[in-house]
Structure 1
Amino acid sequence: MSMPKEESLLLQGRWSVSEECLCASAPAASVSFNATASEVSFDIEGEARFLFEIDGKAVKYETVNDRRKLSFKAPKDKASHTYRLVKVSESNPGKICIRGIELGKGGSFGPKPKSWNRRIEFIGDSFTVGYGVEGKGPEDGTPFEKTNASKSYAFLLAEGYKADYQVNAVSGRGLVRNYANIVPEWTLENLYEYTMMGAPEQEKDAERWNFEKFHPQVVVVFVGINDFQGEPPYADVGKFKEAYAKLLDKLRALHPGVKFLLVATKTWPNDDLGGVVESIYNDQVAAGKNDIVYKFVYTENTALHGHPSEMSQKELANTLRPLVGRLGGWLSR
């Protein structure tokens, strides 16, 4: 099985691209292509759950635990269709690699699917990943089984606006302090620099991301839950605010004209996050920044391990949609 030319593929999310394979760790990372095919097959190495779509419609979920060939039937009409494979689980840590794509006897790739003229980046943690979203209660299943990034507010927003996207989110990680202080050297502040945010813990020379590859128009920043939730000690407020402002300034320099939506929610046991993020927003406005909006949100955390349910993720997307649309200039008049 061989890899098609990159010119035939539309990649969403951060991907490491070579002639031999495509590798990613981000939730909701996807590969799309137009093709005539009798069968669509992927040679995949790693551990992940995937959603396969034809012409924008979900067809089947499949799981890879080590390395296997995923094969899907193509429509029998011998016409060109758009195929998409979406990585719905998280690699934390870890990655997956697609080492080949085949189209069956007589199959051929068509023109690359068109990118949209809207681009959104999401920076966050498990709420943005869609962690445990399919769980019907706090102990219903495992994170691997119940996480589905295609049901997260981030993916729903990108799909709703027909926007190219990146979901740069890792469960359990905070901006400067991780949940329960796990792997303290690998916070979001540090992981954000890498192509595959699940790789640096395992790979000494993990690939750094080239920020020229994707210039978002709107960035949704929903970080800090793990900085201020669970067992203390929590993040130092001063360090958190400094790192947050540094991230915003970095993104402004990388993506001139970018707009920001800062999001916060309740944290347990001390409800600190909202006040801290709101103060960051107020500081930005006082400094003359007019590229930024703040929103405090409420979620129904009835899914796995106290995370937002499918309904709550939909409600979150609906709450944020007009704000993202206003920032991007995408609202209909």
Structure 2
Amino acid sequence: MKRFWITLLFIGSLIAPAVATTLPLSGTLVPPDHPYLQYMGRVSFKNPQAPAFDYPGVQIRAAFEGTSLKMYAKPMSGFFMVTIDRSEPFKVSFNSPTDSVVTLAVALKDTIHTVCIMNCIEAYQRRPLFKGLLLDPGKELVDPSPLPGRKIEFIGNSITCGYGVESTDKTDSFADETENHYYTYAAITARNLQAQHYVVARSGIGIYRNYNGPLEGSPKCMPACYDRTLFGDSTELWDFSRYTPDVVCINLGTNDVSTSGCDPDRLYRAYADFLTTVRRHYPEAKIVLLTGCMLRGKSLSIVTTALDRLAREHHQAGDHEVYRFDMTPQSGSLGYGAGWHPSLLQQQHMADELTPFLRELMGWE
């Protein structure tokens, strides 16, 4: 195994505005292509020394020696949820145009520790790059425990991304600071079931018509973007052989019907085509068609009618591994996040509903 020694210099903003200092950082740099680093989620390795990702929920995991840990990334890469050993998760940010190293842990016991770093926002505008971990001098990564064998893929919109989940005011606008996929029904359900989860999700996206899009549909809807490794890059296609889920949960349709101008027939046809695409990529997976908690009334009826028809037609055609599940519509009793999106408590409630359904469906005790 190669050992890398570096001394990094970077400019870090202090509490006082416009005051900066140069701090020397020394230690062992673990490069992103180290064989003991584990990745979960769609990641581009075009540049193995600076892998890229922009879907929420992408995780980097490792087991390391020593008393401290730092993360090295491109400045402005965004926000990450970090768990060290079995401690409570905490958020760190690369939200400065100059800072490229963030401290994740200090004063640990000098032994072996584990770390999980999750990209908790949809970062397609930030274009984050991971450049490695910084350990104590002379310390190394150790062979980690295997990733969970159970595998889920979540395909969705802002609900799955975690839009506004850290806000408590429904009139708040979108902000990276209040989005957090870690607290979504998808991430919580995956933790409940001790499963890996990959996420393909984008706020405002629809199955044929993005939020407030034209009647005839939006060009950058989910079926048009699903095969991308990075949402913000149409030039690199995802290799579906890299991850084969046991179950795929699709939570789309909310944006298509959220404003007037949706064509129910177009929605159905687009969903039917997309379901065929997902089945082609994952011929053995169970597929669950979800409705989200933000739908109600006529809008909910349009989506449930389409999904019920799809499940029924697939069963009639011999595909009995397509299932339906409806989230309970939110009432406000659990509060709202930004922009009337699910609150943290509402996301937890959705996970409490979906977890037992998937556990029984998959036979996961």
What TM-score comes out, normalization by structure 2 length? 0.83
Give distance in 2, aligned partners of 1:233 and 1:93: 28
Aligned match for 2:41, one of 13, 37, 48: 13
Q: Report which stretch shifted further, 156-165 or 177-186.
A: 177-186
Give distance in 2, aligned partners of 1:283 and 1:259: 15
The answer on 1:191 being equivalent to 2:246 is: no
Give distance in 1, aligned partners of 2:325 and 2:117: 32
Give distance in 1, aligned partners of 2:289 and 2:149: 22
Residue in structure 2 matched with residue 249 of structure 1 by the alignment: 276
1:229 and 1:268 in contact (8 A); partners too:
no
2:246 and 2:284 in contact (8 A); partners too:
yes
Structure 1 stretches lacking a partner, 5+ long: none
Code of the residue aligned with 1:240 in structure 2: it is: L
CA RMSD across the alignment: 2.1
Which structure 2 residues correspond to residues 212-227 of structure 1 after superposition, within 5 A?
212-227=241-256
Q: Percent identity?
A: 23
1:8 and 1:111 in contact (8 A); partners too:
yes
Going from structure 1 to structure 2, the CA distance change for 1:221 and 1:142 (only over 3 Å counts) comes to closer
Deviation (angstroms), 1:48: 1.4
Going from structure 1 to structure 2, the CA distance change for 1:167 and 1:298 (only over 3 Å counts) comes to same
Aligned match for 2:194, one of 162, 175, 182: 162
Aligned match for 1:127, one of 128, 143, 159: 159
Q: What's the CA shift string for 1:178-216, capped at 9, x where partnerless?
A: 00229932111111111111x13xxxx532111010000
- What secondary structure sits across from 2:186 in the alignment? helix
Going from structure 1 to structure 2, the CA distance change for 1:4 and 1:64 (only over 3 Å counts) comes to closer
Code of the residue aligned with 2:159 in structure 1: it is: F
Residue in structure 2 matched with residue 68 of structure 1 by the alignment: 100
Aligned match for 1:49, one of 64, 79, 83: 79
Going from structure 1 to structure 2, the CA distance change for 1:59 and 1:227 (only over 3 Å counts) comes to closer
Deviation (angstroms), 1:6: 4.0
Largest Rg, 1 or 2 = 2
Deviation (angstroms), 1:74: 4.1
Give distance in 2, aligned partners of 1:158 and 1:23: 23
Give distance in 2, aligned partners of 1:289 and 1:268: 30
Give distance in 2, aligned partners of 1:142 and 1:187: 20
Give distance in 1, aligned partners of 2:267 and 2:89: 43
Residue in structure 1 matched with residue 306 of structure 2 by the alignment: 276
The answer on 1:3 being equivalent to 2:37 is: no
Structure 2 stretches lacking a partner, 5+ long: 1-28
Residue in structure 2 matched with residue 294 of structure 1 by the alignment: 324
Give distance in 2, aligned partners of 1:239 and 1:80: 55
Q: What's the CA shift string for 1:281-319, capped at 9, x where partnerless?
A: 222222222102112222426211011111111110111
Code of the residue aligned with 1:24 in structure 2: it is: F
- What secondary structure sits across from 1:190 in the alignment? helix
Going from structure 1 to structure 2, the CA distance change for 1:256 and 1:81 (only over 3 Å counts) comes to same
- What secondary structure sits across from 2:256 in the alignment? coil
The answer on 1:323 being equivalent to 2:364 is: no
- What secondary structure sits across from 1:81 in the alignment? strand
2:32 and 2:130 in contact (8 A); partners too:
no
Q: Report which stretch shifted further, 261-270 or 45-54.
A: 261-270
- What secondary structure sits across from 2:153 in the alignment? strand
Code of the residue aligned with 2:31 in structure 1: it is: M
Code of the residue aligned with 1:9 in structure 2: it is: L
Give distance in 2, aligned partners of 1:59 and 1:94: 23
- Aligned pairs, how many? 324
2:77 and 2:129 in contact (8 A); partners too:
no
Q: What's the CA shift string for 1:141-178, capped at 9, x where partnerless?
A: 64312111000000001111111110111000001110
Aligned match for 1:25, one of 54, 74, 80: 54
Aligned match for 1:77, one of 87, 102, 109: 109
Deviation (angstroms), 1:50: 1.0
Aligned match for 1:87, one of 99, 119, 122: 119
- What secondary structure sits across from 1:16 in the alignment? coil
Deviation (angstroms), 1:115: 1.4
Give distance in 1, aligned partners of 2:112 and 2:290: 41
Code of the residue aligned with 2:190 in structure 1: it is: A
- What secondary structure sits across from 1:35 in the alignment? strand
Give distance in 2, aligned partners of 1:47 and 1:141: 21
What TM-score comes out, normalization by structure 1 length? 0.90
Q: Report which stretch shifted further, 289-298 or 159-168.
A: 289-298
2:182 and 2:188 in contact (8 A); partners too:
yes
Q: Report which stretch shifted further, 135-144 or 48-57.
A: 135-144
